[in-house]
Structure 1
Amino acid sequence: MNELFRKRIGFPEHEKLTFEALDNLLEKTATTIPFENLSILSNQIRAITKESLIDKILVKNEGGLCYQLNPLLYLFLVENGFNAALVRGVVYNEATKDWSKTGRTHVVILLQYEDQTHLVDTRFGGNLPLKPVPLNGETISSINGEFRVKALESDHGDHIFEMKLKYKDTDWKIGYAFNTKRPLKSLYELNEVQGIIVEHNESRFNKIRLITKLKCDGSVTLTDTSFTQWIDGKMTKEQIDNDTFKELAKQHFGLQER
């Protein structure tokens, strides 16, 4: 797995993975592996195991959603000697000012380093900090914007993740809440998350195809009906048909129709 993950994202095979190297690792992961739901829309659902995640993302070179990509990164970090755990979060909808009806379906990594806990998230759509974010309220800046985690007791957890995306946000927005006291006991729990994402009426990922990936100068997002590019803060959006979807999925994300 260690060799396959490094090869997939272009990280040196024999370089020791230090905490200081995580910025580079997270940026390479975000710009290489797409966030996508094609397997859900094509009804190709597999139980979540270490072996199935490796096969899907590292062997078949597909992407995935947070409950697939963050657990894969977690396994890679643990294999490289880091002290980490997975936790589930509840996403906040800024438009409706309400918490997601799907509940605790966002999966993220908590990493311990030098007596400090850090949030590591490589898949929250394109809203990625690209760096470990300490749980002490400190603001972390990257090419993608500003990010912070604050302690806040609520019905949804004991911390919230906030973001101010470059070119898009002028004020801080809540991304999600999570509970540091409820780590996943095993990968098996991810199958409950997957079941909700696949079946729940309020799930954003069981209705239309979605693929998105960060780039060094912005991002690209593809859906059934549109192709959106952000380049140096400028957005272009075009309407597309199914044939164009297939072409763009292959051209920009390396994905074949399933």
Structure 2
Amino acid sequence: MDLKAYFKRINLTDSGPPSLSALRNLHRHHVLSVPAENLSIHSGEKIILEPSWIYEKIVVRKRGGICYESNGLFLWVLDKLGYQPKVLSARVRNKVSGAYGPNFDHLIMTVELEGRKWLCDVGFGEGIIDPIPLEDGWEEEQDNGIFRLRMEKELWFLERKDGDLWRSLFIFTLEEHKFEDFKQMCEYHQTSPSSIFTCKSLCSLQLLRGRLTYMGHRLITTEFTKGGGCVKSTRDLTDDEIPDLLRDKFQIVLKGKLIPKDEDITPPNSN
């Protein structure tokens, strides 16, 4: 795996030694270059949690990936650059039911710099663009919204502001894990009717002050405004339009035929 090729993939010439500014630059460029997408699941391609396979997919083939892939690649990069990242497990909140997913539902990581721990996550569609310090009550407005970290006992909440209310995105603890620990949940997200990834074909890319999202037979354009607001517009797509759109808007060309999907998620039997 070639770091120079990775830098080129995220439109960065180099990184330099570990520092907070370098970490911010890496994190931001990755989020703005690598889509959060699950198109492999809907085009006959299995997702494999092996670093070399993920590198080939995202860097060489210029694809995106689900959290395990995108954050898995970022984890490898940070490790190679000497940041000593720690792998954490997060549980994503379901927007409809309000319930949180199982352990290893989402992969995140922390890096320690300048006497602080920093939360890094380049694989969550509506998540942070820049790393944020792991501090209870920390609130920060980024290009795509206002975020807050909150702690209850040993449980951390990453929240996003929607109007006057805070909405939890996911919860996590600081218990450290290994990348391999997420393989079973990666399989779950490729097969379970309770996973958003099997029910909806998705591709979403963060833009400067905006987001472009393909879902099923729709293209959703989001413009973020100051104070955590946003304006959305939607365009319906035909089957014939989707491959060209993925190529032109996301630079993605699939190996197999995509079967567009946008179905309701089946609630699990228990939380």
Normalising to structure 2: TM-score of the pair? 0.85
* Among candidates 177, 182, 191, match of residue 184 of structure 1: 177
* 1:191 alignment partner AA: K
Counterpart check, 1:39 vs 2:40: yes
Which residue pairs with 2:236 in the alignment? 239
Greater Cα offset, 55-64 or 37-46:
37-46
Partner in structure 2 of residue 249 of structure 1: 246
Q: Which residue of 2 aligns with 1:74?
A: 75
Aligned to 2:109: 109
Check the 8 A contact 1:133/1:148 in 2, yes or no: no
| Runs of 5+ consecutive residues of structure 2 not aligned to the other structure | 225-229, 257-271
8 A Cα contact 2:121 2:128, kept in partner = yes
In structure 2, what is the equivalent of residue 9 of structure 1? 10
| 1:21-170 pair list within 5 angstroms | 21-100=22-101, 102-125=102-125, 127-137=126-136, 138-153=138-153, 158-164=155-161, 169-170=163-164
Q: 1:213 aligns with which of 205, 208, 215?
A: 205
Tell me how far 1:17 sits from its aligned partner.
Answer: 4.8
Q: 1:31 to 1:79 in 2, by over 3 A?
A: same
- Give the AA of the match of 1:133: I
Distance 1:120 1:210 in 2: 22
CA distance in 1, matches of 2:41, 2:177: 23
TM-score (norm 1): 0.89
Amino acid at match of 1:178: F
Higher strand fraction (1 or 2): 1
Q: Where does structure 1 differ by over 6 angstroms across 4 or more consecutive aligned residues?
A: none
Query: What SS is found at the alignment partner of 1:112?
Result: strand
CA distance in structure 2 between the partners assigned to 1:120 and 1:44 by the alignment: 28
Give the share of equivalent positions with the same residue, in percent: 21
- 2:155–2:171 Cα contact (<8 Å) kept: yes
Aligned residue pairs total 248
Take 2:189 and 2:48, find their aligned partners in 1: how far apart are those partners?
A: 13
User: What letter is aligned with 1:118?
Assistant: W
Query: Is this contact kept in 1: 2:15–2:26, CA < 8 A?
Result: no
Q: Hey, what's the Cα distance between the residues in 1 that align with 2:180 and 2:130? A: 27
- Asked whether the 8 Å contact 2:121–2:127 carries over to 1, the reply is yes
Contact 1:133–1:147 (Cα < 8 Å) also in 2: no
Partner amino acid, structure 1, of 2:252? L
1:149-191 CA distances to partner (integer Å, 9 max, x unpaired)? 22224xxx62111122xxx54321111111212x223x32232
Find 2:221's aligned residue among 194, 215, 229. 229
The DSSP-based 3-state class of the residue aligned with 2:75 is helix
Deviations 1:62-95, CA, capped at 9 Å, x for gaps: 1001011011111111111112111111111243
Matches of 2:9 and 2:207, distance apart in 1: 16
Task: Identify if the C-alpha distance between structure 1 residues 65 and 149 changes in structure 2 by more than 3 Å, giving closer, same or farther.
Answer: same
Q: Structure 1 residue 203: deviation in Å? A: 0.3
Which secondary structure does the structure 1 equivalent of 2:164 belong to?
Answer: coil
SS in 1 for 2:197: coil
Q: How far, CA to CA, are the matches of 1:210 and 1:196 in structure 2?
A: 17
